[in-house]
Amino acid sequence: MKKPTAKAKPGKTTVTYNPATGEKVAEYANTDLKKFPAIVAKARKAQAEWAKLPMRQRAKHVLRMRAYITEHADELARIVSLENGKSRTDALATEVIPCSLSVRWYAQNASAVLKEKTLSRSSWLFFNKQSKVIRVPWGVVGIISPWNYPLSIPFGEVIMALMAGNAVILKVAAVTLSCGKAIEDIVRSADLPEGLFTHVIGSGGEVSTAMIDQGINKIFFTGSVPTGKKLMAQAAAKLVPLSLELGGKDPMIVLSDANLERATNGAAWAGYQNAGQSCGGVERIYVQSGVYKEFVELLARKTSAIRHGADVDFNVDMGAVTTKDQYNTIKSHLVSAVKKGAKVVAESQAAASANKAGNFFPATLVTNVNHSMPLMREETFGPILPVMKFEEIDEAIALANDCSMGLTASIWTKNTKLAKKIAPQIQAGAITINDHLYTHGLSETPWGGFKESGLGRTHSALGLEEMTQPQVVNWDIMNPPRNLWWFPFSPETYNALKSALIFSAPRGPLSWIKASLHLAVFSVKKMFSKWD
């Protein structure tokens, strides 16, 4: 049986399917993009009023969402599981709980992060000048989100945008539209101004084009590297700024002194969780030669013990791959690696609920790999863990950095001091020690990568700042008729400016005193005299 994915009827509806069973989940009407200019105009009007509210008032609205999430946690986990394919336990842990945590953190911390900041003077030459930086909302932001974390990724960005004073137009992945509808319900519980939040449904390319054409102020995109590059090229024509969180090929480095029980448990979770469809999950493992054999044996036993299948009664560990296209990519990487000499040493066991209609790919442990294989160089985005041996730490660092992407990485060792020295040498946006992947759920930690893994950051104070533009406000403490460097010019003006230079960078105490006196006399004369 062919495993269906979301199907769009141009201008009409989009149908979603359960990747674990092949059954239809829902059908939704596509947004009429002829109405998109009106949607943006309504959002701008609502945003202008929303941005005037004190931060505490915004927080009061936003915090209502946390109560809704708690009350509807089971239903939200069920919806995610139905369309994404992950288990309900996985959905609760990695989607629902992080949503609740994000509401609390941004509501409590946005005011301190985004408050105006007075700047210290760079030089006493400008004793009369004072400056501050304020954070100004972009206006209307577009959020385009993926299907691998269809609830927590877009929702966290929605909360950041709202707390920063923006309006939001959200486009979720076509295969997880019920998750977008769930976000609508959560946001509706906050009683926001009409038009401040809008969820649109349709082709990703058509919606992104409409966003750019209608002058959306900024776009936040999470997805693949190729799609991110296309969007960036499209946005460049109108200089629409972007925040891009793209792919990862994240390495795990295991040193010889590591706690192998913890390391193999961590590898299994961060590599197989969500059927491996985590841009920040483990995609390649490098193990020091002295413990390589033991590590592989331990991880093989744990891989074989994992149960994959449809979540019927909470008795499976791993669910389905979300789309058929992704299933085929995972399979092609494994087939290619095996042809080049890779060895499959363990696979997970299918539960009774893993029927043939579902996109079930077993958790798979692979050895005898090298960097000539796509499995070690391209984003697999599936439940395959390739393990490679190394001798010296410098070799492991070089292997970890031998990639066009750099989202996350992890170092496993009992020597935390050593791990902290290694961390800055790895080209990735987030480095964890003796853990992996989980920082995406910590609202206080920035999320984003190096190289082709993206531009900008989401989450944390940096994510809130990405939702605003910095604006400098500068003023005079006193208001004399003229500044030192204003017209009219004269030889005395030139000499006074040279004295200003010496004042700011004196050759010694005497030169500073002489320059100071000359500058003071001339400044008073020019600043407080009339221009005749």
Binning pLDDT at 50, 70 and 90, where does residue 3 land? very low
Cα angle: 180, vertex 181, 184; to 5 degrees: 95
CA dihedral 419, 420, 421, 427 (to 10 degrees): 90
Residue 1 has pLDDT above 70, yes or no: no
Instruction: Identify the band that residue 273 occupies on the pLDDT scale cut at 50, 70 and 90.
Output: very high
Q: What is the pLDDT of residue 6?
A: 64
User: Residue 308 forms beta bridges with which residues?
Assistant: 318, 350
Extents of the domains making up the chain: 33-246+462-471, 250-441, 482-527
Which distant-in-sequence residues (6+ apart) come within 8 Å of 36 by Cβ?
A: 200, 210, 214
Q: Is the pLDDT of residue 34 over 90?
A: yes
pLDDT at 2: 39
Q: Give me the CATH code for the 33-246+462-471 domain, please.
A: 3.40.605.10
Range of weakest confidence among 73-77, 120-124, 131-135:
120-124
Instruction: pLDDT band for 8, please (50, 70, 90 cuts).
Output: low
Q: What is the pLDDT of residue 7?
A: 57
| Integer Cα distance of 453 and 491 in angstroms | 56
Q: pLDDT category, 528, cuts 50, 70, 90? A: confident
- Residues comprising the chain, all counted: 532
Residue 368: both structure tokens together? 């005898």
**Residue 525: per-residue pLDDT:** 86
Active site residues: 245, 279
| pLDDT for position 9 | 54
Q: What is the pLDDT of residues 411-468, one digit of tens each?
A: 999 999 999 999 999 999 999 999 999 999 999 999 999 999 999 999 999 999 999 9
Does pLDDT of 10 surpass 80? no
pLDDT tens-digit profile of 301-313? 999 999 999 999 9
Using the predicted structure, report yes or no on whether residue 91 has a pLDDT greater than 80: yes
Average pLDDT (106-115) is 98
Average pLDDT value for the chain: 96
Architecture label for domain 250-441: 3-Layer(aba) Sandwich (3.40)
Q: Please tell me the predicted confidence (pLDDT) of residue 164.
A: 98
pLDDT at 20: 97
- For 52-85, letters b (16+ CB in 10 Å) and e give eeebeebbebbebbbebbeebbeebbbbbbbbbb
